[in-house]
Amino acid sequence: MSETGTNRDQYLYGIVHADSEVTPSLQGVQGQPVRLVVHGNVAAVVSDMDPVEVLGTPEDLLGHTRLLDTLASATAVLPLAFGTVLPGDADIGAEVLEPRESGYLSGLQAIDGHSQYTLLVRFDRETLLREIVEDVPEAAQLRETIAGTTEDETRPQRIRLGEIIVKAFEARQPGEAEPILEKLRTVTADMAVHEQGQPDDVAEIAVLVAYDGAEAFEEAVEELAEERHPRLTFRLVGPQAPYDFVPEV
């Protein structure tokens, strides 16, 4: 079944199986209730746009991600980019779903029964600094020189110490990250490793976890965090929509 648009612009969140359900209480961007537009074996999760309000506030982004993450905890969903809007007279079934139905269906089948978690592992900066000062005599000497001085007085020494610290983080990162990745591979269906954003990042990992494997996965993360405390800190986010595992269609 294809459904033509309402008079309002329509906001698109993601693609789900045609037999998925959304509860009447689910709200998305601008607090609008969501509904399904079904075509063949797939459906788009949509809501009407408020013609007066401006799209793009932090609350809108939160509404977008919160809705997708809620859906992903119970059903397969292919997220669409934040801010995907069609004009009020658009036919979502004909213009969005029909041309890509087979690709959407394949993508949904690939993630059925799974949701995403994202794990950020970082060095505990103070713990690593103590370790570096103990291991690198130049770092210890520079830290002693800097103590009690202003930034202007010891700028070259501070720059050099920073270089030593960054190099030490980089040298330690692979050895810390690989055992974590190895253990996570045993309790996940798929994995995407992001590039490091900061020198003290050990790993940022998106993983695809089966619904019935979530408990084992979370236990594995807890064990890793306990084993590596206080040297490393762990931050786990999820369940989420599978943002990192959406195939090109």
Cα separation, 45 vs 3, whole angstroms: 12
What is the structure's pLDDT at 30? Answer: 87
Cα separation, 150 vs 236, whole angstroms: 38
Q: What is the pLDDT along the chain (249 residues), one digit of tens a residue?
A: 444 445 788 999 999 999 998 887 888 888 889 999 999 999 999 998 887 777 888 888 998 999 999 998 888 999 998 988 888 767 898 888 999 999 999 999 999 999 999 999 999 988 888 888 888 888 888 888 888 888 888 888 889 888 888 888 888 888 889 999 999 999 999 999 998 888 889 999 999 999 999 999 999 999 999 999 998 999 999 899 999 988 776
Specify the residue for token string 């999820």: 238
The residue among 169, 168, 167, 180 whose CA lies nearest residue 121 is: 180
Strand partners, 27: 33
Cα separation, 144 vs 191, whole angstroms: 43
What is the structure's pLDDT at 202? Answer: 92
What is the structure's pLDDT at 69? Answer: 92
Q: Kindly report whether the global pTM for this prediction surpasses the value 0.85.
A: no
Asked if residues 120 and 202 have their Cβ atoms less than 8 Å apart, the reply is: no
What is the structure's pLDDT at 179? Answer: 93
